[in-house]
Amino acid sequence: MDIRQLRYFAAIANAGSITRAAEQLDVAQPALSQHVRQLEEELGTQLLVRSVRGVRLTDTGTRLLSHARKLLSDFQAIRDDIQQTESTPAGPTDIGIPTSLGMLLSVPLALQVRRELPKVQLRIAEGLSGHTLEWLRQGSLDLALVFGSEKVAGLAMELIATEELHLVGPRDDPRLAELASGPEGNVPLAAIDGVPLIMPGRPHGVREELEAAARGRAARLDIVLEMDALEPIKALVAEGAGYTVLSPRLARHGAVGDQLQTLPIRDPEIQRSIYLARVAERPLSIAARHVRDRLREILGTLTNGRRWRPELTREAAPRPAATGTEA
């Protein structure tokens, strides 16, 4: 087994077809098939299931792909360091961004990379923070933005920003006014006991952090509906179907942001930390380092002292009351 066989195997897995991989690699299809057969013979197991519609990985093929991606990434990093090609970064770079940050980061990052790093092949994978963390560990990503703790085994974590969680309800909702019994109009966590909540399911970070805080205060969470889609949750809250817990940044963004009101949760305050993570023992390629620098630049324009800028978190102003002259 050599690096060329692993590169061919990864290309086939990514393309989902030996024919398409052969075209992308500019390698004859019979030769590519022969390399795969030799690899299967050496490992003593079937790696691909072939059909008229292409190929799919077996369980052992999936495991090999994870190892191959790590080795190919290391190989690229070694090549970059030796060749000293800092001035012309090139090659693939895979970045994981949580869905809740995709609206802020994915398009600006893609545009900047296309304009400034034209030889870099960027892939942005959006998903729940728990999923991006797992993809990073598996070697499918070079870098990932994740919510959580600064101490995750095997990862190098760089703190990017922090934000607090708020209780979110319809604007001018009378029950919110009743719940805001804490100093400065905030909501004690214990006051949420029995409030009907619409929340994402596990392993969503907000859900996990809210439940951990509730256990610490022996508060009961009444989760009446689970939904793993942010905008529908906010739409339901705006319609009075329940309440949710979000950062003000997320609550105010989108089509119904001006129909929602947020109140900070206190006693305890629930903080979320956002980190830029990579596998500590896996060196970044030059291309990945350049993409990381662009991502840091964009995040720098959105944060101030590791807090989101006020324009991203400020609650929208109340809508004016309707007058008798309006239709």
Which of 237, 275, 234 minimizes the C-alpha distance to 251? 234
Same fold, 1-79 and 166-269: no
Share of the chain above pLDDT 90, in %: 31
pLDDT of residue 106: 94
pLDDT per residue, tens digit, the chain (327 aa), is 888 889 888 989 888 888 888 888 888 888 888 888 998 899 899 999 988 888 889 999 999 998 888 888 888 777 776 665 556 788 899 999 988 888 889 999 999 999 999 999 999 998 877 788 888 888 889 999 988 766 788 889 999 988 889 999 999 899 988 888 766 778 998 888 889 999 988 777 788 889 888 888 878 899 999 998 888 999 999 999 999 999 888 888 878 989 999 999 988 888 888 999 999 888 888 899 999 999 999 999 988 878 887 777 654 333 333 333 232
Answer yes or no: are the C-beta atoms of 155 and 136 closer than 8 Å. yes
pLDDT in tens, 168-215: 999 989 998 888 876 677 899 888 888 999 998 877 778 888 988 888
Query: Domain map of the chain by residue range?
Result: 1-79, 92-163+272-314, 166-269
Which of 230, 240, 252 minimizes the C-alpha distance to 173? 240
Rounded to whole angstroms, how far apart are CA atoms 200 and 228?
5
Protein fold of 1-79 = Arc Repressor Mutant, subunit A (1.10.10)
Looking at residue 243, the DSSP 8-state letter turns out to be: B
- In which order are the strands placed within the sheet that holds 143-147? 120-127, 91-98, 143-147, 271-279, 155-164, 307-308, 303-304
Protein fold of 92-163+272-314 = D-Maltodextrin-Binding Protein; domain 2 (3.40.190)
Q: What dotted CATH number matches 166-269?
A: 3.40.190.10
pLDDT in tens, 85-97: 556 788 899 999 9
pLDDT of residue 166: 93
* Other beta carbons less than 10 A from residue 67's beta carbon: 12
